[in-house]
Copies of this chain bind each other. A is one copy, B any other.
Amino acid sequence: MNVEYVDAIGYGAAILTTLAFLPQAFKVLRTRQTRDISLLWAIAMTAGVFLWLCYGYASGSMPMIVANAVTLALLLAILGCKLYCK
């Protein structure tokens, strides 16, 4: 497959899986309800996305750094509410 097509698929994937966390974080911050969200999911995703951020930094990939920094901030909001919102 053409390299530009492959890159475009990768950028589309990165944009979707990053922006996806915007409505989820807004929902959690608005409702303060996280009962249906798994704590293990929130912890593992936060740790995993932090490692993706380190991987992006170590590889010198600015798109990975930006995408994972945004996702990490949104995940921290979700995890914080899961732990502290009552």
Contact = CB atoms under 8 A, between A and B. Distances in A.
B58 A13 contact: no
Contacts of A52: 10, 13, 17
- Within the oligomer, what is the number of copies of this chain? 2
A36 B40 contact: no
A35 interface: yes
Interface of A: 1, 5-6, 9-10, 12-17, 19-21, 23-24, 26-28, 31, 33-38, 40-41, 44-45, 47-49, 51-52, 54-55, 58-59
9 contacts: A5-B58, A9-B55, A9-B58, A12-B48, A16-B45, A20-B48, A23-B40, A33-B36, A36-B36
Given A20-B45, A36-B36, 12 more contacts: A9-B54, A10-B52, A13-B51, A13-B54, A17-B52, A19-B44, A20-B40, A21-B41, A23-B40, A24-B38, A33-B35, A33-B36
